[in-house]
Amino acid sequence: MVDPRGLRFTAAVTSVVLAVVLVTGSGWLLLAQTVVFVVGAVAGVRYAPYGLLFRALIRPR
């Protein structure tokens, strides 16, 4: 079963990161977001960085 809060959390963090990339033009931040996408696609949702962050910080509450 998937916690819908995790999906919303991941979408929110991704949106904020990409908005900051648009405002600042930071190539490094865009590269970091790309790495997050690649890790999630290759390793799976369980090991995606934002998923790990969600499980460590948000879900325990």
Q: What share of the chain is helix, strand, coil (3-state, %, to 5)?
A: 85, 0, 15
What is the pTM for the complete model shown? Answer: 0.83
**Residue 49 is assigned to a structural domain of this protein:** yes
Q: Concatenated DSSP letters for 1-14?
A: ---HHHHHHHHHHH
**Residue 16 is assigned to a structural domain of this protein:** no
48 SS3 class: coil
At 46 the pLDDT is 84
At 17 the pLDDT is 97
- Taking residues 35-59, report their average pLDDT: 91
Contact 9, 56 (CB under 8 A): no
**Residue 59 is assigned to a structural domain of this protein:** yes
Residue 4 in this model has a pLDDT that exceeds 80: yes
CA distances from 24 to 3, 19, 34 (A): 32, 9, 16
- Mean pLDDT in the chain? 92
At 3 the pLDDT is 82
Q: How far apart are CA 58 and CA 5, in angstroms?
A: 9
For the chain, the domain total comes to 1
